[in-house]
Chains A and B, each alone.
Chain A
Amino acid sequence: MSRLHPSEERAALEESVRRWCEDRATVAAEPRFVAERWREIAGFGWLAAVLEESAGGLGLSPSHASVIAEALAPAASQEPFAAQLALGGWVLARARGGVARDALLETWLAGESLVALADGDPAAPPWTSRPAFWGRRVGGDLLLDGEAPLALDGMLASHCLLVVADEREAKALYVLPAAALERVAREALDGRAHASIRCAGLAAPDDARLEFEAGTDAVLAEAAWLHALCAAAESVGLLRAMLRASVVYLGQREQFGRALIEFQVLQHRLVDMTLTLTRLESLLEVARFKVDELGLLAASPWIAAAKAATGEEGRAVARAAVQLHGAIGLTAELALGRQLRRLTALELLAGTTAQHEAHWRATRTA
């Protein structure tokens, strides 16, 4: 019954990430992406963990990515692990080898380059087909036109993965240097450096096209579900940190002549947060279990359940954490505010709470 017990790899990953986070606790509030920290993350092999060995990865099950995301959550506020892993490295690793792809994957794995997925309509569920660019053949050239309104980490990326609908096929992915594209910074509430990405009549060389044995749509859908799983896991990591901070804070803050934690009404609020957190942890474990058992696509109902729950119920836990801190909970100094902003971003990313809820509702009995 191996999968009912955490694997050794999982325990080792959790432990190493936890130690890294502790060492970096003091710089956790760093409001910007720091390239050196990202290279450290790469150096530990966390980017490689779930990629196939043939692509330079360690070959662990994709559920392990969510273990890293959960453990990183409290300290790594600016390292775009979930999106880079799911929408970047995972997609590159699934593509057939080629000179451009191999070189990019190598630098990505080393933490030296980041990639951004440039896809369409951010309001649609990310596991649906969402091309952002249209290709037309003019002579021998494929010319691309279009705009990706919200390419995650777009301003950090050296390369973009353009989701293109061309005349022959529904969808294809082209990897192009960011410098060749028109980028407009879109800084997000959680400090992330997203971008809108545009091009008009840009010629895409044939070798920029990524080929997928599994099919482009399937790999993009897989990437979306992996992103959702990691987002749910990161949310759980954040919520646990917020709950712990609340327990500690109430133990320190005195009012009415005693520590606030002595008031039963506050104790019970902490317990209700704990009950919710336990529920979310369990749903996350169900999702991981199903991913290991069935693969990302077939596990989508359970990933959706976990993601919907972390959105809907996480909101209440986070609100309670702010409430229990009083006014100081609304200040910029506290990690709490940063965590709340990131949590809110996660609720809207990788499929919104409502989209995941709808997916769970539609597929739960299947």
Chain B
Amino acid sequence: MLIESALGDAERAFLAEVRAFLAAELDPALVAAEDAQRSFIADHERGNRWIDRLRRRRWHVGHWPAAHGGAGLTPMENYLLQYEQGLHGAPAAPPMGLAYVGPTVIRFGTEAQRAAVLPPLIAGEDHWCQGFSEPGAGSDLARVQTFAERRGERYVINGSKIWTTDAQHANKIFVLLRTRRDDSREALSFFLVDMATPGVTVRPLRMLTGDHEFNQVFFDDVEVGPEALLAGEGQGWAVARFLLEIERGSFVFGGRLRRRLARLEARLRAAGRVDAQVEHALARLDRDLLAYEMTELRLGTLAQGGALQNAAANLIKIDWTELLVRMDELGLASADPSALCADGAPLREGELGMPGWLASRFNNLAAPIYGGSNEVQRNLVFRTLRQAWGSA
């Protein structure tokens, strides 16, 4: 790891603990499956298998405060934990519950909501999905139309959410809804909904690889109680922004991308495909990844972004997604027509036959789109840039 020599004694000890844990718990079959994955999005089943192991140390909720059941790791400890997991090929954990919902409920929830949401989340009994996007509201998220109509104490929800990752595995969904019939952001509210509630249906959507990652979720007269509303009517936008900030900037992908590049390079070399041009491209990717690792640490973990710190999450999101896509595309440099067909790896229902790395090349075209497209991220970076430097 780049910065290992600079760690203090306590951090060094923590890092050693993480490495020992990974050496003991991370079995090769799990790593091999993760390495062969067809997408950068966490695999539900594998991810949860890994979470079961992390749970013994509370490292699956490492950065949550101890008072709410987390391990209370410092940002630097959390960085080390995430980086090493990625570097050693640990399965990525589905983020919707542990990374997004947990901290959001800790921040905005009532005591009763925390008591209802956090324990089953920590215990691995609840699996969440994210209901923001709608057919008519993508980048312009504040335009969501799915409506929660108030009837006395209760709400009745009608409409649909789309591109909902892992809805096929989830038993809970958080949704950004409209609670007033006007276009303002004050009309938005944030709800936590049990997917077993009558009127919720999930319809699968196939990716262009045939893979099943996302879905459309329909709400037909879905009735929920007041406990489903987080932070009060009209607070939805503030809650959603808090959550999106996590989605964009809280990951540590340096280790995962480092492993990906090393594996790509090894594959290209083994195939004898490293000519001068590929050598050049590899060196360039290595350099850009080195820069990314330092950016992720400086801006994401240590908040050293200076005047542009407010844009940290946006800059990081653009950077890793574009690096990911470039890496995957360099993979094509090693390809010959045999890559057009399945390579013998087991396929799940509906998945089109092709090597995993090639499927991930297609599926990862999603990364610059999800979590707020990179164009939208650029709009947000610009806003910070203008605030910081706009007047001479």
Tell yes or no: A115 within 8 A of B by CB. Answer: no
Known: A279-B295, A286-B291. A361 touches B2 (CB 8 A): no
- What mask results when residues 3 to 31 of chain B are scored 1 for a CB within 8 Å of chain A, else 0? 10111100100000000000000000000
What chain A residues lie within 8 Å of B283 (beta carbons)? 357, 360-361, 364
The stretch among A15-23, A157-165, A270-278 that forms the contact with chain B is A270-278
Contact check, A305 vs B315: say whether CB atoms are below 8 A apart.
no
Some 14 contacts from A to B, beta carbons below 8 A apart, are A1-B7, A267-B378, A270-B385, A280-B291, A282-B292, A282-B294, A282-B295, A286-B290, A293-B6, A308-B287, A309-B287, A360-B287, A364-B286, A364-B287
Query: A282-B292, A289-B6, A364-B283 known; 12 other A-B pairs, CB under 8 Å?
Result: A4-B76, A5-B302, A247-B386, A251-B386, A261-B390, A268-B375, A271-B381, A274-B311, A279-B288, A282-B290, A282-B293, A285-B298
What chain A residues lie within 8 Å of B391 (beta carbons)? 248, 251
Contact check, B298 vs A282: say whether CB atoms are below 8 A apart.
yes
- Minimum distance in angstroms from B212 CB to a CB of chain A: 33
- Minimum distance in angstroms from A200 CB to a CB of chain B: 44
What chain B residues lie within 8 Å of A308 (beta carbons)? 287
Contact check, A275 vs B318: say whether CB atoms are below 8 A apart.
yes
Tell yes or no: B392 within 8 A of A by CB. Answer: yes
What chain B residues lie within 8 Å of A261 (beta carbons)? 386, 390
CB-CB nearest in chain A for B296:
A282
| B280-321 interface with A by 8 A CB criterion | 280, 283, 286-288, 290-295, 297-299, 302, 304, 308, 311, 315, 318-319
Contact check, A286 vs B392: say whether CB atoms are below 8 A apart.
no
Contact check, A289 vs B2: say whether CB atoms are below 8 A apart.
yes
Residue among B11, B287, B288, B319 with most chain A CB within 10 A: B287
What chain B residues lie within 8 Å of A293 (beta carbons)? 5-6
Known: A5-B302, A289-B2. A309 touches B291 (CB 8 A): yes
The CA-CA distance from A159 to B290 in the complex, in Å, is 41
- Minimum distance in angstroms from A278 CB to a CB of chain B: 6
Tell yes or no: B279 within 8 A of A by CB. Answer: yes
Which of these, B287, B299, B378, B379, contacts A305 with CB under 8 Å?
A: B287
Q: What is the interface of chain A, defined by CB distance below 8 A to chain B?
A: 1-6, 243-244, 247-248, 251, 261, 264, 267-268, 270-272, 274-275, 278-280, 282-283, 285-286, 289, 293, 302, 305, 308-309, 357, 360-361, 364
Contact check, A279 vs B291: say whether CB atoms are below 8 A apart.
yes
- Minimum distance in angstroms from A111 CB to a CB of chain B: 30
The CA-CA distance from A361 to B280 in the complex, in Å, is 7
The CA-CA distance from A4 to B5 in the complex, in Å, is 10
Which of these, B294, B297, B308, B382, contacts A268 with CB under 8 Å?
A: B382
Which of these, A5, A251, A271, A282, contacts B378 with CB under 8 Å?
A: A271
Contact check, B8 vs A274: say whether CB atoms are below 8 A apart.
no
Nearest 3 pairs of A and B residues by beta carbon: A282-B294, A3-B6, A279-B291
- Minimum distance in angstroms from A256 CB to a CB of chain B: 19
- Minimum distance in angstroms from A233 CB to a CB of chain B: 15
Contact check, B295 vs A274: say whether CB atoms are below 8 A apart.
no
CB-CB nearest in chain A for B381:
A271
Which of these, A6, A271, A357, A364, contacts B382 with CB under 8 Å?
A: A271
The CA-CA distance from A272 to B280 in the complex, in Å, is 22
What chain A residues lie within 8 Å of B319 (beta carbons)? 275, 278-279
Contact check, A285 vs B294: say whether CB atoms are below 8 A apart.
yes
Contact check, A2 vs B6: say whether CB atoms are below 8 A apart.
yes
The CA-CA distance from A251 to B3 in the complex, in Å, is 39
Contact check, A274 vs B315: say whether CB atoms are below 8 A apart.
yes
- Minimum distance in angstroms from B39 CB to a CB of chain A: 25
- Minimum distance in angstroms from B290 CB to a CB of chain A: 6
What chain B residues lie within 8 Å of A283 (beta carbons)? 287, 290-291, 294
Contact check, B379 vs A264: say whether CB atoms are below 8 A apart.
yes
Which of these, A1, A274, A286, contacts B2 with CB under 8 Å?
A: A286
Known: A1-B76, A286-B291. A361 touches B279 (CB 8 A): yes
Contact check, A247 vs B389: say whether CB atoms are below 8 A apart.
yes
The CA-CA distance from A243 to B280 in the complex, in Å, is 28
